């Protein structure tokens, strides 16, 4: 099957506007050719001046030739503006449709795909990659059409007046073109991919670093604690320096070649004037010295267009990569769950296909039971919770809710079954009322107020300028991490889903907010199946069952007292936790 070209892919998003793209090329070619006409008038001016020298008053047509040159220059500019108007209309439609297609597709994908790409990288693909196609269609393609037409027209001019000087002018052009091809070949295409990869990595890590600033402030860490962000910056720095050094010599030779046309013309003029300088030779030599800089400008345009073509090719590949991601399959059979229990049967999952993040995990959570997942970072706690919510499907085994495989539960039904409270909950830039109502769009105002009361949020509402209708994030109205968490809990209370997943829900709360958050969580958890992910072990002591995960496997399980009696991994974690708390209290007392 023949591979679809980048241009064909872009035109598939243009719809009826694709004709404007093709029209812009035609207009650009016409503009480029008309732009050469003033040079012909310049040649006629030089010819008339040399013909009457030294009595220049006899040159009566100079003014008319000059105005004719200006007229054709203006016509060329007007046609070029028309070309750009056509190309921009098409380019804007293409970029808009790409963004819409991407966002529709991303909305259909499981959240696990977002985690795989990283929000910073995904945002860059949606915004920057689509913008690259816009710039390419709006400017580069019309300019490329004109840049191709210009050398053709120049070739006619160069060979029309004096073929000997014309051929001499082409020698540095050929050299410059060969050097340019070397710089913009397959090796350059690979370098461009590496450049975009390093930019994506740095962008993604920058977003993650900014999101982690609360941790920096809370624990007094520095930027060097975020090794991946610093490593991404260092990698970009090394790549840019190495790339610049690699192109230093080729670029120097290219610049020398395209600017060396004067040396060839002067040398040719000396050789051709051995038998004397004729007016015709002088006329053509002066004309060629005036017109040949256009060649260098055109070649440089083509070189940068080749680079832009590589950038847009890379952008299209990244867009296609996201579009190739498949939504999770949905069963045509709509099965009703019988209860709110959760069962995992021999579940395994790997992010990279090499090392398992979860390895043959089986467990049963009874309806209304509260369980906790604890263990070191990277042990598989969050992966386990993500599988239960079907952010992605296990590669082996299955997950059941109410004795039904979650792959047989429609997506909307599953989402109505589960509520989430993450460690760093985010609110949209809209009113507190609307943020809470997202939990249940059909809820009345009274029900939303009751949810806010149950989530211990009334102290927040009372200090807001417009109460519950205050827009957060606007006009200087911002909430602390603990306050945002309580608003998110109100949203979960309003949703009233029977299964609740708490991922470090009190991680960023100050002591006062933590008490209120715990009170709100107590209200939220009543009568529900609760799954807690926790590093703060004091928050899981009352759990019906604690699962200790290590390297993707459950190594211990039981109540808090049972695990302490086992004197295993959890007992050691509890001992370390208590010592850390006592050390912190002692330190604060000394302070």
What sign for the dihedral angle of Cα 413, 436, 368, 372? positive
Of 448, 478, 450, 453, nearest in space to 464 by CA: 478
Rounded-to-integer distance, Cα 73 and Cα 465, Å: 61
The reported pLDDT for the residue numbered 161 is 73
Q: Are 123 and 207 in contact (CB under 8 A)?
A: yes
What pLDDT, on the 0 to 100 scale, is given for residue 1? 42
pLDDT for residue 348: 92
Instruction: Return d(Cα 388, Cα 573) in angstroms, integer.
Output: 26
What was the pLDDT predicted at 512?
61
Residue with tokens 């991303």: 106
Distances (CA, A) of 6 to 59, 103, 122, 133, 314: 54, 21, 21, 10, 10
pTM of the entire predicted model: 0.65
Q: Which residues contact 157 (CB under 8 A, 6 or more apart)?
A: 36, 39, 40, 291
Task: Give CA–CA dist 129/11, Å, rounded.
Answer: 16
Buried b or exposed e, range 546-585, using 16+ CB within 10 angstroms? bbbbeebebebbbebeebeeeeebbeebbeeeeeeeeeee
Question: What CATH class is the domain 6-323?
Answer: mainly alpha
Q: How long a stretch of residues is the chain?
A: 591
Q: Which of 439, 441, 485, 442 is nearest to 460 (CA)?
A: 485
258: tokens are: 């395209």
Residue-wise DSSP of 329-381? P--SS-PPPSSS-EEEEEEEEESSSSSEEEEEEEEEE-TT-EEEEEESTTSSH
The C-alpha atoms of residue 169 and residue 262 are separated, in whole angstroms, by 8
Q: Which long-range contacts (CB under 8 A, 24 or more apart) does 176-182 make?
A: 176/254, 176/257, 176/258, 176/296, 176/299, 177/299, 179/250, 179/253, 179/254, 179/257, 180/254, 180/299, 180/302, 180/303, 180/306, 182/250
* Residue (of 96, 95, 105, 6) closest to 325 by Cα position: 105
- The two three-digit tokens of residue 55, written as one number: 């009595």
Instruction: Please list the pLDDT of the chain residue by residue as tens digits (591 residues).
Output: 445 678 888 888 888 888 999 999 999 999 988 988 888 888 888 777 777 777 767 767 788 888 998 999 999 999 999 999 999 999 999 989 999 998 888 888 877 777 777 666 788 788 878 888 888 888 888 888 887 888 778 777 777 777 777 777 777 777 777 777 766 655 666 666 677 677 767 766 666 666 555 544 444 445 544 666 777 777 777 777 877 777 777 778 877 777 777 777 777 777 777 766 667 777 777 777 777 777 777 777 776 666 677 778 878 888 888 888 888 887 777 677 778 889 999 999 887 777 888 899 999 999 888 898 988 877 888 888 888 888 888 889 999 988 888 888 888 888 888 888 776 667 788 888 998 998 888 889 999 999 888 888 888 888 888 888 888 865 556 777 778 888 888 888 888 888 888 877 665 555 566 677 777 777 778 888 888 887 777 778 888 999 999 888 999 999 999 999 998 888 888 888 787 666 554 444 454
Residue 277's pLDDT is 66
H/E element, 533: strand 529-533
CB-based contacts of 207: which residues, under 8 Å, 6+ apart? 118, 119, 120, 123
pLDDT at residue 313, as a whole number? 80
Distance from CA of residue 557 to its chain's centroid? 41
* Alpha carbon separation from 169 to 155, 172, 302 (Å, rounded): 10, 7, 18
Task: Report helix, strand and coil shares of the chain as percent, to nearest 5.
Answer: 65, 10, 25
- 16, 19, 81 from 89: Cα distances, Å: 11, 11, 12
The SS3 call for residue 5 is: coil
From-to residues of CATH 3.40.50.300 in the chain? 342-590
For every residue of 452-498, DSSP letters joined together read HHHTT-HHHHHHSTTGGGPBTTSTT----HHHHHHHHHHHHHHHT-S
Give yes or no for a contact between 20 and 89, defined as CB atoms under 8 angstroms apart. Answer: yes
Please provide the DSSP assignment of 104-144 as one string.
Answer: HHHHHS-HHHHHHH-HHHHHHIIIIIHHHHHHIIIIIHHHH
pLDDT of residue 582: 62
Spelled out in words, what is the top-level CATH class assigned to the domain 342-590?
alpha beta
CATH 1.20.1560.10 residue spans of the chain:
6-323
């Amino acid at each position: 099957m023949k591979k679809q070209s980048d241009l064909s892919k872009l035109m598939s998003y243009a719809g009826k506007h694709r004709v404007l793209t093709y029209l812009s090329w035609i207009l650009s070619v016409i503009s480029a050719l008309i732009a050469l006409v003033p040079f012909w008038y310049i040649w006629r001016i030089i010819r008339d001046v040399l013909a009457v020298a030294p009595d220049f008053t006899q040159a009566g047509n100079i003014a008319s030739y000059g105005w004719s040159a200006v007229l054709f220059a203006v016509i060329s500019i007007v046609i070029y503006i028309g070309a750009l108007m056509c190309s921009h209309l098409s380019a804007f439609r293409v970029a808009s449709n790409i963004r819409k297609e991407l966002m529709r597709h991303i909305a259909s994908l499981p959240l696990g795909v977002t985690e795989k790409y990283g929000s910073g990288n995904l945002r860059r693909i949606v915004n920057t990659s689509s913008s690259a196609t816009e710039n390419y269609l709006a400017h580069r393609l019309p300019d490329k059409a004109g840049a191709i037409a210009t050398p053709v027209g120049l070739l006619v001019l160069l060979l029309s007046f004096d073929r000997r000087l014309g051929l001499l002018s082409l020698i540095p052009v050929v050299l410059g073109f060969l050097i340019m091809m070397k710089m913009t070949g397959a090796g350059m295409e690979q370098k461009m991919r590496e450049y975009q990869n390093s930019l994506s990595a740095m962008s993604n890590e920058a977003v993650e670093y900014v999101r982690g600033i609360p941790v920096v402030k809370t624990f007094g860490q520095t930027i060097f604690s975020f090794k991946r962000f610093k490593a991404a910056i260092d990698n970009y720095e090394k790549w840019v320096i190495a790339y610049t050094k690699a192109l230093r010599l080729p670029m120097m030779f290219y610049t020398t070649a395209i600017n060396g046309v004067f040396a060839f013309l002067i040398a040719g003029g000396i050789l051709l004037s051995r038998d004397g300088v004729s007016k015709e030779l002088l006329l053509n030599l002066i004309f060629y010295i005036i017109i040949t800089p256009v060649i260098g400008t055109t070649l440089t345009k083509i070189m940068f267009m080749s680079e832009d073509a590589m950038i847009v090719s890379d952008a299209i590949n990244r867009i296609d990569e996201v579009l190739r991601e498949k939504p999770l399959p949905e069963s045509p059979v709509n099965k009703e769950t019988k209860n709110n229990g959760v069962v995992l049967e021999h579940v395994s999952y790997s992010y990279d296909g090499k090392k398992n993040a979860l390895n043959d995990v089986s467990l049963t959570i009874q309806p209304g039971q509260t369980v906790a997942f604890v263990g070191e970072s990277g042990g598989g706690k969050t992966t386990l919770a993500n599988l239960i919510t079907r952010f992605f499907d296990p590669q082996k085994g299955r997950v059941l809710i109410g004795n039904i495989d979650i792959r047989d539960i429609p997506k909307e039904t599953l989402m109505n079954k589960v509520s989430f409270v993450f460690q760093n909950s985010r609110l949209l830039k809209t009113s507190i009322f609307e943020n809470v109502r997202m939990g249940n769009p059909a809820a009345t105002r009274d029900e939303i107020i009751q949810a806010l009361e149950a989530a211990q949020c009334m102290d927040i509402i009372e200090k807001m300028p417009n109460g519950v209708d205050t827009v957060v994030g606007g006009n200087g109205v911002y909430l602390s991490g603990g306050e945002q968490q309580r608003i998110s809990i109100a949203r979960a209370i309003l949703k009233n889903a029977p299964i609740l997943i708490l991922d470090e829900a009190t991680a960023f709360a100050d002591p006062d907010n933590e008490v209120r958050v715990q009170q709100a969580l107590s209200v939220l958890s009543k009568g529900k199946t609760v799954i807690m992910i926790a590093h703060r072990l004091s928050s899981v002591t009352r759990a019906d069952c604690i699962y200790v995960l290590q390297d993707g496997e459950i190594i211990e399980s039981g109540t808090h007292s049972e695990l302490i009696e086992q004197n295993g991994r959890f007992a050691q974690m509890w001992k370390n936790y208590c010592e850390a708390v006592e050390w912190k209290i002692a330190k604060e007392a000394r302070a």
